[in-house]
Structure 1
Amino acid sequence: MDFDILHWNKKIWQNILNVEIVYAAIIYLILGATQAHSEFFTAGLLLIILALNRFQDKNQTLKYCAVWGNIIILPYEFCSVWSITGNFLLFKLPIIAPLTILILWLFWLVLLVPIVMTSADYIKNWFLRLIAFSFLDCQYGMDIALQIKHLPFFHTFNDQGVVSAFALLILACFLGYSWGYRFNPNLKFVPSRKFKWSVFIALIVLLIIDVWWNDFGGNGDNLLSILFSSYVDLQAKYFTLPNFTSALEPGILEEAERYIWMIILLAGFNQFKEWRVPIVVYGSTLLFALSHLSNVGVNGQTFLATISQVIAVSGAMIWAVAYLYTGKLWITMIAHFFTDYLINLQSGWASSSTWSGSFADWATTFIPLIFGLAVTIWMMYGDRRQVMEENADRLLNMNSYQTLTMLDVMAR
């Protein structure tokens, strides 16, 4: 067998997926016999999906059912079986718990890859791809079912979603590859004739200003004070591992999500050459902002505070244009990480957004949006736009990267 997994054919991936389905079905049969009879239904459903995969080449209807059955049902069930297996092993083998967790994490990182490599390429429509990705993007939040609170170091990385963030980044690489695009989301640096270092430096400076203002600005009760005053209140008590990991997770996970949204929209609207880049930037920003609606109720955050947050984080469209201009996803990951981490160092990772309806609240809601929009509009014209267009073309190139090391994915 060729050990370069990007060269594995669909039959190999299908065999791996079948093994996962059979294992999950066995676990649910055992649970049905020993705990809840309702688990027999889940086992039966998995066996039906296994049969659909076995006979999917018979006709298009079976193929359609197999593909969507894999994408809609299997991710959740695989994640559930992973936590059930993990908790059983941790209970039975507590003496080797750290080793068990590391092995479980290795499986978690690639758990859903066989689903992608057997099913994702059959989905061509951009809207259906968005729906498919919403089902595949399920590991974050399900990882907390692993009961490891008695191991604080491992618990922090697991329950803060860091491992799931890396799992999604790997999944994003394979997802793009399965659709015929790049495996590596980071473009190799090949400067365009239109590329200007002055624009690159200006963009980095604007990213730094954006991070600084969002973390330390917005103080006072009048517009000038809110715009130009800064207050730094880093506290030693917040220099903890949980505050670090709670910033690392969104920096990786949410930017991996943005990358997938961007290539889906790029491919979906590629025929509209004059509009595809604006659609990608504003469309991915809208999806990014709306994803924050899930923060309602988290740590007591109110609905109005969440709406304010959704509007404010829309200013992160600056990160989308930064990615398209530089071709480096790790740049936006770093900006995202520091935006969250510097806030954590001032108020702790468990803090939430607030809303009182004051002038300062309104200002800090819309200033980030206006700033991000202004930078984005500036980037949409002239040579700057041309560089983004060229990088958009490169993102949709045929596969050219042949390795699966995370160092390669992050460094190129």
Structure 2
Amino acid sequence: MNLRKWNIYFRWEIAIVILLWWRMAIFNIVKVHLATAGLCIVVSILPVLVLAFNWLKKKSAVTRWLAIIIMPAILSVTWYILFHNILCYVSFKLGIIVLFGLILLVMDLPVAVVAIGQVQNWFGRLIAACYFDMVLLSSTAIELKPQGINVLISSGLMAGVAAFLAAMLIAKCWGFSFNPDLKWQKSSNWSNVTFILLLLFCIVFAFWAEFCGKGNNLVEILFKPDFGPLKPTWASFCRALEAGVFEETNRYLTILALIVGFANSKYRVQITVIVSAVVFGLLHFTNLGGQDFAATLNQVIYAAALGLVLAILYLYTGKLWLPMLYHFGVDFLNYAVNGGIKAQVWSGTLSDWVSSLVSIVVPVAIAIWMMTGKRKLVIDENIERLLG
């Protein structure tokens, strides 16, 4: 489908959103909820501005960024309010959940193509992709009972799938393949031994991070695993799967933006891996509201270190599903060990410091090793193939 048709769908979607907000404003005026009605009118002005600028024959950067900033947020808020209110008044909740789940999958596709997909600057692409994903994920904080099909939405899994679909269209608009996985291509620099060692590290590190790192002395912390009873749940499975799909999709767009921005730099591999990992770590500051600063900072640093390996895993193999699968496994194991999704804690004990140090130093060392010798050459080859 060409850009012209996507633009038509985008305008129709904006018009529908405007009508819905005016309808909510009229409803609140009738109910004499004047403050709420006024808020609805103010909110409805924002998509009106986007629609008005979109009709201009010559699209400018201002027009594009107006759509990028306003529309994902407006769509998410509109989706949330309608979903929440309709659920309160109907008895056939399953049908409504399915319907709004399908709407969630496609509602951001027009803005992804018309606005984000047309950004040419690499830094703008980076900012737009991160902002878009964060807004999309926040829309699913809906109050549903954590059971059955409801969890697919409340866990953010459906938002993750929606982000993935949008990312494939965005990548296509940026000039990349619609498929994030590179076809297998034999390389003289490829090493099966290296690949096996990388996978072994990922597996061993995931188990060490969850079952070790506790104890009263250095030996216990490093070498004594604590295999407590695992408590996996359907909710934690969906939440872990959401993290694997959503966060690795965001990493994919981040990597695409960076390899374009630094395509001619001799340090493009290092810049791409490090910056994408830093962005991944910083996004975990969104957990600050549910846990204290020290625990969140520790989580941010750990996530950035692990992000180095996740970026390497994709760039070395060319298969996005591999870091997705590994990310899912790490999070699901964590949720199963903790008996669910729990806030991180930081007590400043010896085990906290040693565990954090190992969780940072070891992934960094593996990433440095992978960015040297023939291993780096394989990554360079895959970057060239991504660039086309």
The residue type equivalent to 1:45 in the other structure is: L
Q: Which amino acid aligns with 1:393?
A: E
Q: Contact (CA 8 Å) 1:120, 1:179: kept in 2 or not?
A: no
Alignment match of 1:28 (pick from 16, 21, 25): 21
Contact 1:195 1:387 in 2 (8 A): yes
The DSSP-based 3-state class of the residue aligned with 1:193 is coil
Change (3 A) 1:268 1:230: same
Counterpart pick for 2:104 among 93, 99, 108:
108
| Aligned-pair CA distance for 1:92 | 4.8
What CA distance in whole angstroms lies between the structure 1 residues aligned with 2:156 and 2:129?
18
Find out whether 1:395 has 2:386 as its counterpart: yes
1:159 equivalent to 2:154? Answer yes
Residue 360 (str. 1) matches residue 351 (str. 2)? yes
Higher relative contact order (CA 8 A, sep 6+): 1
For 1:89 and 1:307, locate their aligned partners in 2 and report how far apart those are by CA, in whole Å.
39
Q: Do the aligned partners of residues 312 and 84 (structure 1) sit closer, same or farther apart at CA in structure 2, a change above 3 Å counting?
A: closer
Taking structure 1 as the reference length, the TM-score comes to 0.87
Question: Share of identical aligned residues, percent?
Answer: 31
Q: Is 1:287 equivalent to 2:279 in the alignment?
A: yes
Match of 1:309 in 2: 299
Aligned with residue 77 of structure 1, among 74, 77, 81: 74
Match of 1:210 in 2: 205
Q: Residues 312 and 367 of structure 1 are in contact (CA less than 8 Å); yes or no, is this contact kept in structure 2?
A: no
- The amino acid of 2:23's aligned partner reads I
1:184 aligns with 2:179: yes
1:156-207 per-residue CA deviation (whole Å, 9 max, x = no partner) reads 2211111111111112211111111121211111222211111111111111
The structure 2 residue matched to 1:16, chosen from 9, 12, 18, is 9
| Structure 1 stretch displaced more, 218-227 or 385-394 | 218-227
Instruction: Give the match for residue 219 of structure 1.
Output: 214
Partner of 1:325: 316
Q: Do the aligned partners of residues 87 and 359 (structure 1) sit closer, same or farther apart at CA in structure 2, a change above 3 Å counting?
A: closer
Equivalent in the alignment of 1:68: 65
Q: 1:4: which partner in 2?
A: none
Higher mean C-alpha deviation, range 212-221 or range 324-333: 212-221
Instruction: Give the root-mean-square deviation of aligned CA atoms.
Output: 1.7
Task: Give the whole-Å Cα distance in 1 for the aligned partners of 2:174 and 2:263.
Answer: 14
CA distance in 2, matches of 1:315, 1:224: 23
The structural deviation recorded for 1:42 is 2.1
Post-superposition shift, 1:315? 2.4
Structure 1 CA distance for aligned equivalents of residues 341 and 118 of structure 2: 41
In structure 2, the CA distance between the partners of 1:121 and 1:388, relative to structure 1 (3 Å rule), is same
- The amino acid that maps onto 2:80 is S
**SS state at 1:143 partner:** coil
Letter in 1 for 2:243: P
What are the Cα deviations for residues 380-406 of structure 1, in whole angstroms up to 9, with x where unaligned?
111111111111112222xxxxxxxxx
Runs of 5+ consecutive residues of structure 1 not aligned to the other structure? 1-7, 398-412
The C-alpha deviation readout for 1:69-106, integer Å capped at 9, x for no partner, is 110100011112222333454345423x3222212212
Q: Which moved more, 1:37-46 or 1:193-202?
A: 37-46
Aligned to 2:341: 350
CA contact (8 A) 1:20 1:78 kept: no
Q: Does 1:175 align with 2:170?
A: yes
1:246 and 2:239 correspond:
yes
Letter of the aligned partner of 1:142 in structure 2? Answer: S
Of the three residues 260, 270, 290, the one matched with 1:267 is: 260
Whole-angstrom distance in 1 between the partners of 2:75 and 2:210: 38
Cα deviation for residue 211 of structure 1 reads 0.8
Amino acid at match of 1:15: I
Q: Equivalent residue for 1:94?
A: 91
Amino acid at match of 1:271: N
1:349 alignment partner, SS class: coil
Distance 1:314 1:229, change over 3 A: farther
Following the alignment from structure 2 to structure 1, what is the Cα–Cα distance between the partners of residues 282 and 216?
A: 28
Q: Mind listing any 5+ residue stretches in structure 2 that lack a counterpart?
A: 29-36
- Answer yes or no: is the 8 Å Cα contact 2:315–2:382 preserved in 1: yes
Q: Is the 8 A contact 2:147 2:234 kept in 1?
A: no
